[in-house]
Amino acid sequence: MSENNTDTPLVEIAGLSKWYGDFSALHDINLTVASGEKVVVCGPSGSGKSTMIRCINQLEEHQVGTIMVDGREVKPGMKNIEEVRRDVGMVFQSFNLFPHLSVIDNLTIGPMRNKGYSRVQATETAMHFLERVHIAEQADKYPPQLSGGQQQRVAIARALCLKPKIMLFDEPTSALDPEMIAGVLDIMIELAEEGMTMICVTHEMGFARKVADRIVFMDEGEIVEVADPENFFNNPSTERSKLFLSQLLGH
């Protein structure tokens, strides 16, 4: 993991647009994320936050614009997309652990298949990251036997096992019971403090305040506002972000 070196861009999104049929899901998105930077993406549901970060590892295919990840352009139908995906860790809202594999096998399958690790090597790496997410004692269990918070921590460890250059979080705490959220956020904060480059779609504004270098506010498929947390929370510059914040922090 590199130093907080905010000069070299790791992800560059330029003029990105995407449609589902005739529905415009993303419109002219421009965003550059530097190495070591932590970006929090927020906005109302259906605003295209998830779609945008899913374009970065091509789980969604875009139609217009360019996306560069660590100097390589990713585009629909490209041959070696797997190589890019190995550099991009992703954590999903619904965990998506493989239910037929034990926790340890969930973690080792990627490195063994992609990086040609032996089982011993892969297990060593996996145990290292399981310890980091404080869940090493569950290694031999199966995902359905774990709580939601534990499953999400395993999912984070699974992504880390590939030693990614950037981590994408797609609403990682939205499917969790309230008492499970803190454990997952703590792990994410630790990761951030170690200098991991992160793009997080989340509604956890406390987390955003603490960790984010920049907040990206999206609405109706567009980036409406980009600001540092202090400015975003205290002086939102657009009506839409004001409305969103008042609804989020209203009660």
Summarize as ranges the residues that interact with another protein (CB under 8 A): 57, 59, 82-83, 85-86, 88-90, 92, 94, 96-100, 109-110, 113-114, 142, 145, 155, 158-159, 162
174 burial (CB, 10 Å; 0-12 / 13-18 / 19+) is middle
Q: How far apart are CA 192 and CA 172, in angstroms?
A: 15
We find the least distance from the C-beta atom of residue 98 to another protein, in angstroms, to be 6
We find the least distance from the C-beta atom of residue 251 to another protein, in angstroms, to be 31
Kindly tell me which of 71 and 144 has the beta carbon lying closer to another protein: 144
We find the least distance from the C-beta atom of residue 14 to another protein, in angstroms, to be 23
We find the least distance from the C-beta atom of residue 100 to another protein, in angstroms, to be 5
Kindly tell me which of 79 and 251 has the beta carbon lying closer to another protein: 79
Kindly tell me which of 113 and 119 has the beta carbon lying closer to another protein: 113
Kindly tell me which of 98 and 248 has the beta carbon lying closer to another protein: 98
Q: How far apart are CA 176 and CA 151, in angstroms?
A: 10
We find the least distance from the C-beta atom of residue 82 to another protein, in angstroms, to be 5
Kindly tell me which of 16 and 159 has the beta carbon lying closer to another protein: 159
